[in-house]
Amino acid sequence: MLLPLGGAGEIGMNFNAYGFGPPDERKWIVVDCGVLFGRETETPGVDIIMPDIRWLAEQREDVLAIVLTHAHEDHIGAVGHLWPELQCPLYATPFTARLIEDKLFEAGITERVRVNIVPLHGHLNLGPFSIDFLSITHSILEPNALAIRTPLGTVVHTGDWKIDPEPLLGEKTEINALRKIGDEGALALVCDSTNALVQGHSGSEADVRTALTDLIGTLKGRVAVTGFASNVARLDTIAKAARTHGREVALVGRSMHRITKAARDTGYIEDFPRLVSEEEAAQLPPDRILYLCTGSQGEPRAALSRIAAGDHPTVSLGPGDSVIFSSRIIPGNEIGIHALHNKLAALGVEVLTVEDHFVHVSGHPARDELAEMYRWVRPQIAVPVHGELRHLAEHARLAKSLQVPQAVVIQNGQMLRLAPGRAEIVDEVPAGRMFLDGRIRVHEGEGFARTRRALGFAGLVAVTLVLDQRGRLAADPAILFEGIPDAVHPPVREAVAETTRRYNPRSGKEQDLAENVRRAARRAAADVWGKKPITRVELART
Amino acid sequence: MLLPLGGAGEIGMNFNAYGFGPPDERKWIVVDCGVLFGRETETPGVDIIMPDIRWLAEQREDVLAIVLTHAHEDHIGAVGHLWPELQCPLYATPFTARLIEDKLFEAGITERVRVNIVPLHGHLNLGPFSIDFLSITHSILEPNALAIRTPLGTVVHTGDWKIDPEPLLGEKTEINALRKIGDEGALALVCDSTNALVQGHSGSEADVRTALTDLIGTLKGRVAVTGFASNVARLDTIAKAARTHGREVALVGRSMHRITKAARDTGYIEDFPRLVSEEEAAQLPPDRILYLCTGSQGEPRAALSRIAAGDHPTVSLGPGDSVIFSSRIIPGNEIGIHALHNKLAALGVEVLTVEDHFVHVSGHPARDELAEMYRWVRPQIAVPVHGELRHLAEHARLAKSLQVPQAVVIQNGQMLRLAPGRAEIVDEVPAGRMFLDGRIRVHEGEGFARTRRALGFAGLVAVTLVLDQRGRLAADPAILFEGIPDAVHPPVREAVAETTRRYNPRSGKEQDLAENVRRAARRAAADVWGKKPITRVELART
């Protein structure tokens, strides 16, 4: 049984539950527990979105474990928030485990939960599930696919992956192990769909190393490179390219320090060039320094945005300097990133991106790689996950074209029976999104972000009517306008005054008064403005 | 003298003023008068943004004319809004003039202003300016470059353009005329920068015709194609491709009807296939119909979004049907367009886009085309316009690499002396953005959209304190929460109650009370929520 509660409908908040056994004695394991990042347009004021797992939490006695495939936020970011609802053991490989510990620390639950470390190529028995960790390649250290064996067959859960023949750091893809599972006969392939719309092959980190090293060699002045801190192979590439061209490397931004420390703690990048501090870097000639910065997505509080705004404490860039964006634009971040490019251009800094230079490759499989994976595993059933519906649909179409007998598109909350018999959706459980709104977790259905989006569109008129004990108006109405052009205020004031003048206190219909005032105010605003503000009327009683 | 008031800092709201003569007798012409579309993230509730032209409006006696290069909204969209501030004659070629008349009608000023029609390849004398209209190619009918001749030299203002050897409809680029100006010696080239970051060549409409026709031939079921209605050559391509493959064509969406009518009224598309109505189309077999729909940018009220939502009155799509997006994604629209793709995928509709098929070419010059233009005109001064700062900067860099003696990046409001002497910024005038907020025009500096954005982030707490004539609290405070999670309410209520309890009416410090309540409420919210709502306190007096 496969039950995705996140990731089947969005690229992010991956959360998949696998169940085995008849309903009354079914045991579950969870694969990945990630977040999705909120967007100002759809979810203003919400930084982090995670799956609603209440259905699974109700049977937490039967949830044996959470297994994490790799350390990206969309796979581990919700562990600190959701572990208390499941309270089961965690399993991950060393580098991933190291970063999960940070999550548990932030959530203040380090004492309550232990992360069980699984070695690379390791094995795990959890009730009816026998799990092999298969090394694969992606854009982070220690990505794993899982071969989940049950008495009814073997499911290969890919996690995030690509085929990188030269990942530079860490293991290569265990192609032979995947082929062997195919030879034995695989029941299902539950597979990354992120780039199912992309033709060709994602390319290799080794190719980026060559191109980036050459590019950095052509630059004069200060060089700053920004990218995803979690791509340690890329950081290693950039640091070594700097040294090749006689530049010292300084890390700028918290994630850069955090990730490189985790990589070093777990035995990676032992030959990483010696770093200089931001302060030391500031003393060096411009052509002797390279900054490795956070902020490739235009995040306003990250290092690069602060540098571009001229308010970074130690790093400043100007004419003759260059910034390389060794990253892609995550959809939805275009405007923020372009604004950052514009700010850098205003400083006279040259901006180099993947649009005009070969400075990035994706970590997800393009169609040729998906086809290769299907040739290795040859599953009976293809289940696309990790994608929006358009990616899942196209991935399923591709799988069918590759002769996979069944390709099933499912969405969060749909329970798919993989065996016995044909794959079939047999149930649908509550699913959805939880928002971390500031520090408070709310269900998307509670609508606070939606209300704020409406406030963003047309602002608010709040009227307070003061009534005395006999229901008479005891003061002039207090009217508050927020986010509404001045020209709208007088007609609204007039409408409120007119409506209250017509009120007969002896009628006793105070709620009618409130509703009439609300409607009159809203209508008056709409008449002059063409938009209807949120309009609220409160009663105060003396 | 060149003074851009829009377009030098954004792709949109193009507005350039050219001045000639000493300051006290300087005459001006305006080239283009466009809008920029608002974005929910940055300017929630604002659909349309236009330049602040108050400085020019103050000397409107000396503004001789507004000349419009072509009919895209970012070049003519503000005419109805801004003409009243300048009240000068308008000049445009026939198709452009036809669409401007719609703008004047919407603004209710048809009676007051006449659009003077300039024939293609026409000429215009306006005070010290002698202007030649040069046909060029772009993604609309009748794009014009202007050769603006003055006693101090000739400026070529490109408007929007590309080099399309086969534009299919309308004129080709007057290459010889441009070369001739180069031979005579051009002072300046004021040029489109949209695609200054794009390598290569934009490609031709003729190539898209071949590819789209082939693609449509492969499709079964209903086919809907969406794109920019203003690209009449593309509409013609699609309609003819439909007929080639035995499909009838129905237009869906107001702009499709409006633009094809304007094109027909001005003598274009006389061989456009006969159209069927939406109602007739619904009666045809699926493989006999092609819908040409508005909504390629995911606009929620456009035809395609309504079809995807299943609430279009006559058009419905389902499994086996296809939608072709014959368009690019305008930056900032990614999320909305992807959501539309996902909705169509949920209906079982196959979505075909420029990501996987050759169904669109840009209307703006890529770098090879820019280089070609510089080889034709060979100006003394390059002035990049029509772009964000990053485009202008890169365009200037390119121009310098092409041996243009001077390339000057200027921003809205900067007055550039082109002659005599070296080009130089000699003044800076008030500039900025006006928002059409609902129906009311407000200056961006008034901050209503910014306030609403803040409301979107953290909502609002509004407290009304009722005081009697002696300054005593006469009622319990009325507290309104909007867009704020429930858990935040009790501590805020408690903070307000506590602060009012400590108030001594005999102190007479009512404003202090209000401010103390505001701060206490805000702090209480921040403590529990981690975010600070907009907090307002009103006083009502009995």
pLDDT of residue B371: 98
CA A193 – CA A449 distance, rounded (Å): 29
What is the end-to-end Cα distance of chain A in Å, rounded?
62
Closest CA to A450 of B500, B351, B459: B459
CA B492 – CA B487 distance, rounded (Å): 10
pLDDT of residue A509: 82
CA B351 – CA B298 distance, rounded (Å): 13
| Inter-residue contact A481 to A492 (CB < 8 Å) | yes
Give yes or no for residue A508 having a pLDDT over 80.
Answer: no
Q: What is the DSSP letter of A60?
A: G
Q: What is the pLDDT of residues A193-202, one digit of tens each?
A: 999 999 999 9
- CA torsion B343-B345-B348-B354 (nearest 10°) is 120
Distance from CA of A267 to the nearest CA of B (A): 37
Residues of chain A contacting residue B530, judged by C-beta atoms under 8 Å apart: 438-440
Closest CA to B461 of B476, B478, B448, B480: B480
Q: What is the pLDDT of residues B436-495, one digit of tens each?
A: 999 999 999 999 999 999 999 999 999 999 999 888 999 999 999 999 999 999 999 999
Distance from CA of A503 to the nearest CA of B (A): 17
Alpha-helix residue ranges (DSSP H) falling in A107-145: none
Report residue A139 as tokens: 């854009």
- Residue B7: HSE in the Cβ half-sphere, 13 Å Cα cutoff: 32
Alpha-helix residue ranges (DSSP H) falling in B245-325: 254-265, 278-283, 303-308
CA B268 – CA B233 distance, rounded (Å): 10
Handedness of CA A367, A383, B220, B276 (dihedral sign): negative
B337, B398, B439, B528: which to substitute to probe chain A, counting the most A Cβ within 10 Å? B439
Q: What phi-psi label fits residue A304: left (phi over 0), alpha (psi between -120 and 50 degrees) or beta?
A: alpha
Q: What is the DSSP letter of B331?
A: T
pLDDT of residue B216: 98
Q: What is the pLDDT of residues A116-163, one digit of tens each?
A: 999 999 999 999 999 999 999 999 999 999 999 999 999 999 999 999
Residues of chain A contacting residue B337, judged by C-beta atoms under 8 Å apart: none
Per the prediction, chain A carries an average pLDDT of: 96
- The parts of chain B modelled with pLDDT lower than 70 are none
Distance from CA of B256 to the nearest CA of A (A): 25
pLDDT of residue B511: 83
Report residue A57 as tokens: 């939490």
CA angle A471, A472, A477 (to 5 degrees): 110
Report residue A213 as tokens: 């090293």
| Mean pLDDT of the region A365-384 | 98
Candidates B346, B394, B457; nearest CB to A44: B457
| Residue A356 pLDDT level (bands cut at 50, 70, 90) | confident
CA B103 – CA A76 distance, rounded (Å): 53
Residues of chain B contacting residue A44, judged by C-beta atoms under 8 Å apart: 453, 456-457
Candidates A332, A480, A484; nearest CB to B538: A480
Count of CB atoms within 10 A of residue A510's CB?
15
**Burial (Cβ within 10 Å: 0-12, 13-18, ≥19) of residue A270:** exposed
pLDDT of residue B106: 94
**Burial (Cβ within 10 Å: 0-12, 13-18, ≥19) of residue A108:** exposed
Q: What is the pLDDT of residues A430-482, one digit of tens each?
A: 999 999 999 999 999 999 999 999 999 999 999 999 999 888 999 999 999 99
Count of CB atoms within 10 A of residue B217's CB?
12
CB contact under 8 A, B451 and A388: no
Closest CA to B103 of B119, B85, B83, B89: B83
DSSP codes joined into one string, B239-258: HHHHHHTT-EEEEESHHHHH
CB contact under 8 A, A538 and B480: yes
Report residue A419 as tokens: 């065996």
Closest CA to A163 of A405, A313, A363: A363
CA A239 – CA A268 distance, rounded (Å): 14
Cis peptide before A485 (omega within 30 of 0): no
More confident residue, A363 or A511: A363
CB contact under 8 A, B338 and A390: yes
Residue with tokens 């009325």: B478
Closest CA to B374 of B335, B404, B415: B404
Distance from CA of A103 to the nearest CA of B (A): 18
pLDDT of residue A257: 97
Alpha-helix residue ranges (DSSP H) falling in B309-347: 334-346
Strand partners, A536: A462
Closest CA to A77 of A135, A35, A138: A35
| Inter-residue contact A86 to A60 (CB < 8 Å) | yes
Alpha-helix residue ranges (DSSP H) falling in A78-123: 79-86, 94-106
B325, B329, B390: which to substitute to probe chain A, counting the most A Cβ within 10 Å? B390
| Inter-residue contact B502 to B438 (CB < 8 Å) | no
B351, B457, B488, B522: which to substitute to probe chain A, counting the most A Cβ within 10 Å? B457
What's the pTM?
0.93
CA A393 – CA A410 distance, rounded (Å): 9
CA A85 – CA B511 distance, rounded (Å): 47
